[in-house]
Amino acid sequence: MSDIDFWSWPPGAIDNAISELQQQYLPSLDRLDMAGLLKNEGLGKVAIVSSFGVESGCLLHFVSQLLPAAEVIFVDTLLHFPETLKYRDQLVEKLKLNLVTVAPHKKLLSTEDPRGDLYSLDPNGCCLIRKVFPLQDQLASYNSWISGRKRYQGGQRSNIPILERSGEHIKVNPLATWTKSMVINYMRVHEIPIHPLLEAGYRSVGCWPCTSIAVQSQEDRAGRWIGREKTECGIHLGPDGNFSRKRVGRSK
Ligand code: SF4
């Protein structure tokens, strides 16, 4: 067991746990030991979080080779494309994943989104009750989590670190510095199935009401929340883990 003090995080000051891990496993880009980092017992109980989107197979294969027993959390917003659910089941079977599906709280849905159209009225509120809350509740029983974000996805992801703090959790982004070609090649070499909607032209896939096909000259995620000032669902919190469960939704 590592003697790193993982819970010594002082908000607004130096994060000792992140610093120590950084020095041990990521001293420089040419001396990056991702396997060592992910297998470090000090990370505690680790979850992989996946939306089973078009590039998810890469992260899921890469990490499940190193941590075969790790639980893979999928947030079922109840508004996913049927193709995504089918793809999830296909990857779970092929990669022998330990899937944990979580869903929005029924009572919250019935009070905040009784007609199921909150995505058009208040997409941030919709993401809060359908994605952020269910994931935060589930993550309460984990110490660390792994995400598949990459810098080449642009926007707020352009500068993501490999290792970061997310509230009380340590978050690892193993593919942060990968290029798109690396992801494509990795999936090809390991014969990872392709998301059916990628073949239909979608380069980034989320819930069906908020996903469109981006034009070729745009970034992959440009088809998400088109026409809205929104580029992320909100599950990736700032280092202070700041969010509040204030009431969301329409006025009656
Ligand atoms: S992506 Fe759209 S439909 Fe899905 S939770 Fe967010 S706002 Fe709602």
Distance 127 CA to ligand 1 centre (A): 5
Total domains in the chain come to: 1
Residue 24 lies in a domain: no
Residue ID of nearest Cα to ligand 1 atom 6 = 127
- Pick from 20-29, 31-40, 163-172, 240-249 the range whose average pLDDT is largest: 31-40
State the CB neighbour count (10 A cutoff) for residue 101: 14
Residue corresponding to tokens 């929005």: 104
Q: Measured at the alpha carbon of residue 107, what is the angle toward residues 102 and 111, in degrees to the nearest 5?
A: 125
Cβ of 79 less than 6 Å from ligand 1: yes
Residue 171's DSSP bridge partners are 145, 164
Residue 190 lies in a domain: yes
Q: How many percent of the chain have pLDDT more than 90?
A: 66
Mean pLDDT of the chain: 87
Higher pLDDT, 9 or 129: 129
**Cα–chain-centroid distance for residue 224?**
15
Torsion angle of C-alpha atoms 185, 187, 191, 192, degrees rounded to 10:
-170
122-146: pLDDT as tens digits: 999 999 999 999 999 999 999 999 9
Distance 167 CA to ligand 1 centre (A): 23
Tell me what the mean pLDDT of segment 179-196 comes to.
Answer: 97
Instruction: Identify the domain containing residue 205 by its residue range.
Output: 45-223
Distance 17 CA to ligand 1 centre (A): 33
Cβ of 127 less than 6 Å from ligand 1: yes
Residue 204 lies in a domain: yes
Distance 37 CA to ligand 1 centre (A): 33
233 Cα nearest atom in ligand 1? 6
Residue 101 lies in a domain: yes
131 Cα nearest atom in ligand 1? 5
Cβ of 233 less than 6 Å from ligand 1: yes
181 by DSSP, 3-state: which? helix
Residue 8 lies in a domain: no
Cβ of 129 less than 6 Å from ligand 1: no
Residue 4 lies in a domain: no
pLDDT computed for residue 12 by the predictor: 56
Residue 196 lies in a domain: yes
Distance 223 CA to ligand 1 centre (A): 13
Q: Are the C-beta atoms of residues 186 and 62 closer than 8 Å to each other?
A: yes
Cβ of 221 less than 6 Å from ligand 1: no
45-98: pLDDT as tens digits: 999 999 999 999 999 999 999 999 999 999 999 999 999 999 999 999 999 999
Cα–Cα distances in angstroms (integers) from residue 86 to residues 36, 79, 89, 199, 207, in the given order: 33, 14, 5, 14, 14
- Tell me the torsion sign for CA atoms 114, 116, 121, 123: positive
Residue 87's DSSP bridge partners are none
Closest CA to 38 of 172, 162, 133: 172
Residue 89 lies in a domain: yes
Residue ID of nearest Cα to ligand 1 atom 5 = 127
Lowest-pLDDT range, 7-21, 192-206, 222-236?
7-21
Tell me what the mean pLDDT of segment 225-240 comes to.
Answer: 70
Q: Which of the residues are catalytic?
A: 233
Please state the pTM of the whole predicted model: 0.88
Pocket test for ligand 1, best of 52, 112, 127, 235 (most atoms within 8 A of CB): 127
208 Cα nearest atom in ligand 1? 3
224 Cα nearest atom in ligand 1? 1
CATH of the domain at 62: 3.40.50.620
